[in-house]
Chains A and B, each alone.
Chain A
Amino acid sequence: MKPAPFHHHAPTTVDEAVALLAELAPQDGRVLAGGQSLVPTMAFRLARPAHLIDINGIETLDRVAVENGKLVIGACVRHAAFHRPAVDGPLGELLGKVVRHIAHYPIRNRGTFCGSIANADPASEWCTLAAALDAEMVAQSARGTRVIAAKDFFAGIMSTALAEDELLTAVRLPLLAPGTRTGFCEFSRRAGDFAIAMALVTFRIDGGKLVEPRVAVGGAEPHARRLAEVEQALAGKAPSTAAFAAAGERAAELIDPMEDVHNSAQYRRDLVRAMVRRALEQAAA
């Protein structure tokens, strides 16, 4: 449980960080933010980065702000920043609802939002949220800055579109229109554990009908994603037990669940069915 030797670099600006990353990423350099995934992996010696580029000293990355109708979350913003509404309205409430499912308090005090996105664990709540809301990922490198849409960002189990020399400096979440309802449900063996399946939904109700429903599923497949077919089936329908049950049923059919020694594909389907339905009911309530 002692990490293999590594070099620690502590840049204080993003420019310095991306310069270091450009130089050291090819030599097995990794970014260290909250370290809640990387450090335990290093302790097990499953990860043995030769260099750690520690971004915790970059003050400009530790901010949450609304810009152009989007909530911009910097790379050093901790999960715990969302315990209280980070922004007024439904988005702040949703973030507050979701954050309570992320591990435990000490981990939330240290781990970062962007770190979770960059780590892209299939069971990450933030990744599910990013997929559901079509978040934008801001990737900066010595070569320049680009913005990657959520649907293009997540590539597989702990795999993203980020190049090795790119630093995820911020994630932008579109603010949710007033009146947007949100629901989030996950199932894990214990409170705070990696979820086996989760669902995040948003919609508005206009004239008794569901408007712009979004349904994303996480934990069950290699990466979180929206289920367009389920959303289309819900759009324009009246919120009802039957409609929500049908959505859960369809979601369970649509996914291609991961399977491992702890959880069968069938069980994950069962959970997705339940989580989608429950998240919809929670949002409608």
Chain B
Amino acid sequence: MNAPGEIEATKWIGRSVERLEDPPLVTGRGRYAADIAFPHQLHMRVVRSNQAHGKIVSIDTAAARALPGVVAVWTAADIADVPPVDFREGRIERLEPWRQPVLATERVRYVGDPVAAVFAEDPYVAEDAADLVTMEIDELPALLDATAELGEFSAGRTSEPTVLKQGYGDVDAAMRDAHAVVELTLSVGRHSGVPLETRGAIGRYDASRDMLELHGAAKVPHRNRDLLARMLKRSPSSVSVHEAHVGGGFGIRGELYPEDVLVCVAALRLGRPVKWIEDRREHLICANHSRQQTHKIRAAVDHDGRLLAIDDEFWHDQGAYIRTHATRVAMMICGILPGPYRVGAYRSVGHFRLTNKTPAATYRAPGRYETTFIRERLIEAIARRLNLDPIAVRRKNLIAKTDMPYHLPLEVLGEEIHMDTGDYASLLDKMLAAADWDDLQATLAQRRANGELVGAGLAMFIEKSGLGPSDGVRISVDTSGFVEVVTGGASIGQGFETVMAQVAAEVLGVDYRAIRVIHGQTDRIAYGIGAHASRATVMTASATHNAAVKLRAKALEYAAGMLQAPVEALAIVDGRVVRTDGGAGASISASMSLGEIAEGLAPTSKTRGGREPGLSAEGWFDTKHQVYPYGTHIAVVRVDRETGGVAIERYIAGYDIGRAINPILVKGQITGGFTQGLGGALYEEFVYSERGDPLSASFADYIMPTARETPAIEILLTEEAPTPLNPLGIKGAGESGITAVGAVIASAVEAAIGKPGAITALPITPQRLRRIIDGK
């Protein structure tokens, strides 16, 4: 124990401490969806459409029903009272007709569309029975191109449910008066997050308590509880949703899908728990796809390359139905496209189009990955057109530090954009220095002169993070001094528990390993918004901070009385309240552990006085605005002229996080994000045949980068612009690694092959690049 005057609390925030989550995960004691089992459970297998578009004439389930071990086989007619999967954020009446039914009703609209569900005693029997379900479908033409002529979704409804618009200023006037107008047509390929753990859902109905449980949830358990309750006409408090370990989320896992609804309805009606574990093929053709868009974009510029106006029209390929996110991704595209640049006037028009492909929604950095590619391509084109250095064009247009907070009359996730803090130019300078940019360019030019195809690219972006509006956390200390932090957040593997524990430990003066963090359990806390939109650390950690501050105050107030010391003279060190002023009694004998305080505050304690029982506190954090971190990426690539293959020679990801709670976890997020970004830039694409058959339905055909394709990257993590919008200055980290990867690799490849403007689409597959190099 330290002598009086030397006592200092251990600081946990800002340290790269080891993850609390890891011991069970690395010793095979984790509990993923497939590990969850209940006595007498049934197994569900979904029968899916093998046609992209058609009218359902008949479905024959007789043979499947007759198979021993089969308990039920349902088609849409059996659950006619169950509505289509609704929107997560509440009703949007005008979009309702395009929602996905839990089981297809009159038409099938993509290969993989659930048509029937088999419930059987074991998963093998379920799959055998599913094979026996036959269907007659009158094939309809498959609409596969969101830029093609509109098709018919259903009688009287087209394949364009809505057109989204955002903008400000007089774009047409700016275009008319501009020194130059630069126009591009660009597209981003269809790909998505593909977590190692496929989806899983286990429905269970406890008739003794009239409670419906859904296990295997992720990301937004509370939202899904409310949504399920609404769809199944149950009171929200009679539904509980539970998150176990989650093997990757990336935005796509954890949304409410037809299968989640099916296991719940089946558990209620069949009176037995129902388990469904998605297989990989199902995952690749049924879980949300993302990203696919085509943009026609114009920029009006003056002779210095200043952005007078941007006019963007795009076609968003939503796939077959509107799922839980409604139009979120496309609306985000409209709002976030200008990025870190000041744009005089702006207009974005998004055609929200349905096609006969897997429905699409959010994937890590939704809207930002796409728009960063589009916008940074545009900047490069402007520089080319005006014969300016692209970095100079960026500098000319960057929103300055002195402009902060910078408001835009555009919205992202239902909130106006208020960039809180940032010094984009400073990060750019640091990145150019880190890359030794001028020397790098000289070296690359020399290598190109020697016949190599090498080049460097740079891209800038803003992120948005910390979606509110509110998070609450309840912290309690038990009589042993162990701390429990109950959150409405969710852990998709990002280190949520560790980060929350670090923040609580910092305030409470305890070891972060003496803290248990609860997440994703709707029966433990009434409210929660979960883990998405890079929000968990910003929102839940801020609430944790606020709750910890209250709990600390309560502990000190009680201890002050017991220790006969002023509150200001007390601190909590290693879980004990001690005197820090060297005053009378400032020794170990006159300290109190948090456990002893918890005992003293027990309802039955004589020393509790009039205080609320328990050493516990609830804290809330409310915010009106998201926070806007920002980044710059630099890539150096080498292209194989003969094969079209691209190798990443060097990659630097620069990012301003505001304040890093755990730097190594932030870097882990950036590294993982980068790898996924690399997938979208060079490898991953959901390809369809002309008839709409998915051709990327296994890991042999849906090509994700592995360790062999992924270079070690350099990360420049800065803390120049903490936000004033939350107590710790935190900005989000979850999506920053992925945002600019497509953009920066496109620029680097173009520089390598010496064909400016040649890259107009992602992914840059070897075959496509080979064709570009050949000029065909």
Contacts and interface: CB of A to CB of B under 8 A. Distances in A.
Nearest to A248: B642
A270 B700 contact: no
B643 A271 contact: yes
A262 B687 contact: yes
B128 A4 contact: yes
A189 B695 CA distance: 16
Contact of B700 (A2, A194, A267): A194
Nearest to A43: B279
A228 B695 CA distance: 36
B178 to A, nearest CB: 40
Given A270-B642, A270-B770, A2 B124 contact: yes
Given A191-B708, A270-B770, A1 B280 contact: yes
B706 A191 contact: yes
Nearest to A1: B279
A261 B683 contact: no
Interface string B118-131: 00000110011001
Contacts of B708: 190-192
B705 interface: yes
Interface in A1-40: 1-2, 4-5
Contacts of A271: 642-643
Given A1-B281, A44-B281, A194-B700, A267 B770 contact: yes
B523 interface: no
Given A4-B131, A261-B689, A267 B767 contact: yes
Contacts of A273: 642
Contact of A2 (B127, B642, B645, B683): B127
B643 A274 contact: yes
Interface in A186-212: 187, 189-194
B192 to A, nearest CB: 18
Contacts of A192: 706, 708
Given A261-B695, A267-B770, A187 B279 contact: no
Contact of A187 (B645, B700, B701): B645
Contacts of B645: 187
Nearest to B682: A189
Contacts of B698: 44
A45 interface: yes
Given A45-B131, A193-B703, A270-B770, A187 B643 contact: yes
Given A264-B767, A270-B643, A274-B643, A190 B706 contact: yes
B766 interface: yes
A270 B644 CA distance: 10
A192 B707 CA distance: 11
B709 interface: yes
A263 interface: yes
A270 B776 CA distance: 13
Interface string B621-635: 000000000000000
Contacts of B703: 189-190, 193
Interface in B28-49: none
Binding site secondary structure of chain B: loop
A189 B701 CA distance: 10
B197 to A, nearest CB: 14
Contacts of B765: 189
Nearest to B127: A2
A108 B760 CA distance: 39
Contacts of A190: 683, 703, 705-706, 708-709
Contacts of B695: 261-262
A5 B698 CA distance: 22
A261 B695 CA distance: 8
A189 B679 CA distance: 11
Interface in B701-727: 701, 703, 705-706, 708-709
Contacts of A1: 127, 279-281
Interface string A156-191: 000000000000000000000000000000010111
Contacts of A5: 124, 128
Contact of B767 (A44, A194, A263): A263
A273 B770 CA distance: 13
**Most central of B124, B642, B698, B709 by chain A CB within 10 Å:** B642
Q: What bracket does the count of chain B residues touching chain A fall in? A: 20 to 34
Q: Size class of A's contact patch?
A: 20 to 34
Nearest to B765: A189
Interface in A268-283: 270-271, 273-274
B124 A189 contact: no
B706 A262 contact: no
A193 B700 contact: yes
A117 to B, nearest CB: 20
Interface in B273-316: 279-281
A193 B700 CA distance: 7
Given A191-B706, A194-B700, A271-B643, A261 B128 contact: no
Contacts of B644: 267
Contacts of A189: 683, 703, 765-766
A188 to B, nearest CB: 9
B643 A2 contact: no
A154 B286 CA distance: 38
Contacts of B771: 267
Contacts of B280: 1
Interface in A93-128: none
A282 to B, nearest CB: 14
Contacts of A4: 128, 131
A261 B770 contact: no
Nearest to B698: A44
Contacts of A44: 281, 698
A166 to B, nearest CB: 28
- Which of B279, B643, B687, B695 has the most chain A CB atoms inside 10 A of its CB? B643
A271 B643 CA distance: 6
B643 A191 contact: no
A241 B459 CA distance: 40
Contacts of A194: 700
A273 B700 CA distance: 25
A155 B709 CA distance: 34
B253 to A, nearest CB: 18
A191 B642 contact: no
A267 B773 CA distance: 12
A184 to B, nearest CB: 15
Nearest to B280: A1
Interface string B709-753: 100000000000000000000000000000000000000000000
Nearest to A5: B128
B120 to A, nearest CB: 11
A67 B183 CA distance: 70
A261 B281 contact: no
A232 to B, nearest CB: 24
A190 B689 CA distance: 23
B127 to A, nearest CB: 4
A159 to B, nearest CB: 20
A270 B700 CA distance: 22
A2 B687 contact: no
A49 B118 CA distance: 24
Interface in A250-270: 261-264, 267, 270
Nearest to A197: B643
Contacts of A193: 700, 703
A45 B642 CA distance: 38
Contact of A261 (B131, B687, B766): B687
Interface in B7-54: none
Interface in B610-658: 642-645
A37 to B, nearest CB: 11
Contacts of A2: 123-124, 127
8 contacts: A1-B279, A4-B128, A45-B131, A189-B765, A190-B683, A190-B705, A190-B708, A274-B642
Given A45-B131, A190-B683, A270-B642, 9 more contacts: A1-B127, A2-B123, A4-B128, A5-B124, A192-B708, A261-B687, A261-B689, A262-B767, A267-B767
4 pairs of A and B residues whose beta carbons are closest in the complex = A1-B279, A274-B642, A191-B708, A2-B127
